[in-house]
Amino acid sequence: MIDFQSVLTAINEAASNEKERGEIADYIPELAKVDVNNFGIHLIDSQQNDYAAGDSNELFSIQSISKVLTLSMALSLIGENVWERVDVEPSGDPFNHLSLLELENGIPRNPLINPGAIVITDILVSKLENPKEDFLTYVRDIAGDNTIDYDETVALSEKKTGFRNFAAANLLKSYGNLNNEVDVVLDFYFHQCSLAMNCAQLTHIFYVFMNHGKCRRNKSYLTLSQVKRINAIMLTCGFYDEAGEFAFEVGLPGKSGVGGGIVALLPNKFCVATWSPGLNAKGNSKLGMLALEKLTTDTELSIF
């Protein structure tokens, strides 16, 4: 039996001694206000035992991690039709690059880069009566936690400065791959990215992808095939142009966000989330990646 608590405590200790903590994302001004010294980690195992260390109960902006949740909702609403509008190949490019989108006629490489996530958001805007409310209800329901909410200040901050996302949405529109108005889709997109959660809440939601599509209350949200697809896309695309490095060092499907969160999982075994707001050059949490590498190395648990 692995003593997860000792492993997490050791990881937190190593993180608190680390001097090189990366750079806080400041292209969304509101995110720049966070203290770089935060570090938290939370793990839930398949028996629903919770283990934690550090600032694991502090709320942070989940940003791109939300793209997995909108994908999940879109898949459960329109199934395989999703893939008519977005591909499933790693891009090898940063999350906000637009060059491939033009080369490939408005079909984004995958649903986790910004243009792909914006297409998924567009699908939800078309399908849901009250997109922002309905998506929040979906997320709260999976988590079994009604306290989860959008951070309006972060959403507004990104709306004012999200020029590349406006460019992406307009490019998609020009190729006929955006059915709703740019402003409406991006308002929802900026809100989904602004969701505030702590490490514990993130693992409680992503438990569903670790547990055959069933949440902690055993309610089913996804088919086995849909869970397979989501985990495969997290493994190959979840860290943008660092997806290979994450698979190489950590060996788990996962997803990062520029708020400094990372969530990763080993199917049937555990789901883990880290938060450290300093990012590396590729926009992924520096200490989060180190922490997860230590976790899978010390426990010898990975998908490989």
Residues 42, 226: Cα–Cα separation, whole Å: 25
Q: DSSP letters of 96-133?
A: T--HHHHHTTT--S-TTSHHHHHHHHHHHHHH-SSHHH
Q: How far is the CB of 79 from ligand DON (least distance, A)?
A: 26
Nearer to ligand DON, 52 or 205 (CB): 205
- Catalytic position from the list 82, 86, 125, 258: 258
Q: Which residues of 212-246 are buried (b: 16+ CB within 10 A; e: fewer)?
A: ebbbbeeeebbeeebbebbbebbbbbbbbbbbeeb
Q: How far is the CB of 93 from ligand DON (least distance, A)?
A: 12
Establish whether 139 is a catalytic residue. Answer: no
Nearer to ligand DON, 12 or 114 (CB): 114
Residues 283, 294: Cα–Cα separation, whole Å: 20
- Catalytic position from the list 189, 208, 272, 286: 189
Using only C-alpha atoms, the chain has a radius of gyration, in whole angstroms, of: 18
Q: How far is the CB of 221 from ligand DON (least distance, A)?
A: 23
Nearer to ligand DON, 43 or 193 (CB): 193
- Catalytic position from the list 61, 66, 67, 256: 67
Establish whether 189 is a catalytic residue. Answer: yes
Tell me which DSSP letter residue 284 carries.
S
Q: What angle do CA 83, 98, 263 make, to 5 degrees?
A: 65
* Nearest Cα to Cα of residue 239 among 222, 269, 223, 262: 262
Q: How far is the CB of 14 from ligand DON (least distance, A)?
A: 23
Establish whether 67 is a catalytic residue. Answer: yes
- Catalytic position from the list 56, 64, 256, 285: 64
Nearer to ligand DON, 45 or 293 (CB): 293
Residues near ligand DON (CB under 6 A) are 63-64, 95-96, 114, 158, 165, 193, 256-258, 283-284
Nearer to ligand DON, 64 or 203 (CB): 64
Helix (H) or strand (E) holding 264: strand 261-266
Residues catalogued as catalytic: 64, 67, 189, 240, 258
